[in-house]
A and B are shown apart, each in its own frame.
Chain A
Amino acid sequence: MVKRVSLEKPKMGVLEYLALIIVLIFFMFPIYWLLITSFKPKMEWLVSPPYWFPRNPTILNYLVILFPIKEGVEMVLGSYIVFKPATKAFIDSAIVAGLGTILAVVVGLLAAFAVSRHNIGGNSFMGLVLMLRMAPPMVAIVPLIVFYSLLGFVDTYHGLILAYATFTMPYAVWIIKSFIDEVPRELEDSARLDGLSPLAAHFKITLPLIKGGIFATTLFIWILNWSEYLFALLLTHGNVVTLPVQITAYQTYAGLLYGPQAALAILAVIPLVVFGTTIRRYLARGLTFGAIRG
Chain B
Amino acid sequence: MTKVVLENLTKIYPGGTIGVDHLNLTIESGSFTSLLGPSGCGKTTTLKLIAGLLDPTEGRIFFDDEDVTYVPPQLRSVGLVFQDYAVFPHMTGYENIAFGLRVRGLSEQEIKKKVKEVADLLELQDVLNRKPRDMNMSELQRVALARTIVTRPKVLLLDEPLSNLDATLRVKARMELKKLQKFLKQTIIYVTHDQVEAMTLSDKVAVMDKGKLKQYDSPKNIFERPRNKFVAGFVGTPPMNFIDCTLVQKDGRYLLDAGSFAIDATKLGDVLKDIKSTALIMGIRPRDVSVSIKPISGGMMAKVFAVEPLGIEKVVTIRIDNILIKAITPKEFAVKLDQEIWFKFNLQKLHIFDKKTEEAYF
Residues of B contacting A7 in the complex (Cβ-Cβ under 8 angstroms): 52-55, 70, 72-73
B289 smallest CB distance to A (angstroms): 48
The docked-state distance in angstroms from the alpha carbon of A25 to that of B60 is: 43
What is the chain A residue whose CB lies nearest that of B51? A7
Residues of B contacting A4 in the complex (Cβ-Cβ under 8 angstroms): 70
Asked if residues B70 and A8 are in contact (CB atoms below 8 Å), the reply is: no
Residues of B contacting A8 in the complex (Cβ-Cβ under 8 angstroms): 53-55
Tell me, yes or no, whether A5 is within 8 Å of chain B by CB. Answer: yes
Tell me, yes or no, whether A123 is within 8 Å of chain B by CB. Answer: no
Residues of A contacting B52 in the complex (Cβ-Cβ under 8 angstroms): 7
What is the chain B residue whose CB lies nearest that of A2? B70
B359 smallest CB distance to A (angstroms): 31
A104 smallest CB distance to B (angstroms): 38
| B51-104 interface with A by 8 A CB criterion | 52-55, 60, 70, 72-73
Residues of B contacting A5 in the complex (Cβ-Cβ under 8 angstroms): 70
Tell me, yes or no, whether A6 is within 8 Å of chain B by CB. Answer: yes
* Interface flags, B34-56, vs A, CB<8A=1, else 0: 00000000000000000011110
A12 smallest CB distance to B (angstroms): 15
Query: On chain A, which size bracket covers the interface?
Result: under 10
| A1-48 interface with B by 8 A CB criterion | 1, 3-8
The docked-state distance in angstroms from the alpha carbon of A7 to that of B52 is: 7
The docked-state distance in angstroms from the alpha carbon of A8 to that of B53 is: 6
The docked-state distance in angstroms from the alpha carbon of A1 to that of B69 is: 11
Tally of chain B residues near chain A (CB < 8 A): 8
B63 smallest CB distance to A (angstroms): 15
A136 smallest CB distance to B (angstroms): 35
B8 smallest CB distance to A (angstroms): 11
The docked-state distance in angstroms from the alpha carbon of A7 to that of B56 is: 9
Residues of B contacting A1 in the complex (Cβ-Cβ under 8 angstroms): 60
* Interface flags, B2-25, vs A, CB<8A=1, else 0: 000000000000000000000000
The docked-state distance in angstroms from the alpha carbon of A1 to that of B53 is: 20
B53 smallest CB distance to A (angstroms): 7
Residues of A contacting B73 in the complex (Cβ-Cβ under 8 angstroms): 7
| B243-295 interface with A by 8 A CB criterion | none
A84 smallest CB distance to B (angstroms): 58
Residue of A1, A4, A7 ringed by the most chain B CB atoms within 10 A: A7
What is the chain A residue whose CB lies nearest that of B76? A7
* Interface flags, A233-249, vs B, CB<8A=1, else 0: 00000000000000000
What is the chain A residue whose CB lies nearest that of B72? A7
What is the chain B residue whose CB lies nearest that of A4? B70
The docked-state distance in angstroms from the alpha carbon of A4 to that of B55 is: 10
What is the chain A residue whose CB lies nearest that of B59? A1
The docked-state distance in angstroms from the alpha carbon of A5 to that of B52 is: 12
Residues of A contacting B54 in the complex (Cβ-Cβ under 8 angstroms): 7-8
The docked-state distance in angstroms from the alpha carbon of A1 to that of B60 is: 10
Residues of B contacting A3 in the complex (Cβ-Cβ under 8 angstroms): 55, 70
What is the chain A residue whose CB lies nearest that of B69? A1
The docked-state distance in angstroms from the alpha carbon of A3 to that of B70 is: 8
The docked-state distance in angstroms from the alpha carbon of A5 to that of B60 is: 15
* Interface flags, A122-136, vs B, CB<8A=1, else 0: 000000000000000
The docked-state distance in angstroms from the alpha carbon of A4 to that of B68 is: 12
What is the chain A residue whose CB lies nearest that of B70? A4
The docked-state distance in angstroms from the alpha carbon of A6 to that of B69 is: 11
| B298-352 interface with A by 8 A CB criterion | none
B269 smallest CB distance to A (angstroms): 48
A226 smallest CB distance to B (angstroms): 41
What is the chain B residue whose CB lies nearest that of A6? B55
The docked-state distance in angstroms from the alpha carbon of A272 to that of B276 is: 76
A159 smallest CB distance to B (angstroms): 50
B181 smallest CB distance to A (angstroms): 27
The docked-state distance in angstroms from the alpha carbon of A8 to that of B70 is: 11
B94 smallest CB distance to A (angstroms): 29
* Interface flags, B109-132, vs A, CB<8A=1, else 0: 000000000000000000000000
Residues of A contacting B55 in the complex (Cβ-Cβ under 8 angstroms): 3, 6-8
A19 smallest CB distance to B (angstroms): 23
Query: Can you give 16 contacting A-B residue pairs, CB < 8 Å?
Result: A1-B60, A3-B55, A3-B70, A4-B70, A5-B70, A6-B55, A7-B52, A7-B53, A7-B54, A7-B55, A7-B70, A7-B72, A7-B73, A8-B53, A8-B54, A8-B55
Pairs A-B, 3 closest by C-beta atoms: A4-B70, A7-B55, A6-B55
Interface residues of A (CB under 8 A from B): 1, 3-8
Question: With contacts A4-B70, A7-B72 known, what are 4 further pairs, Cβ within 8 A?
Answer: A7-B52, A7-B73, A8-B53, A8-B55
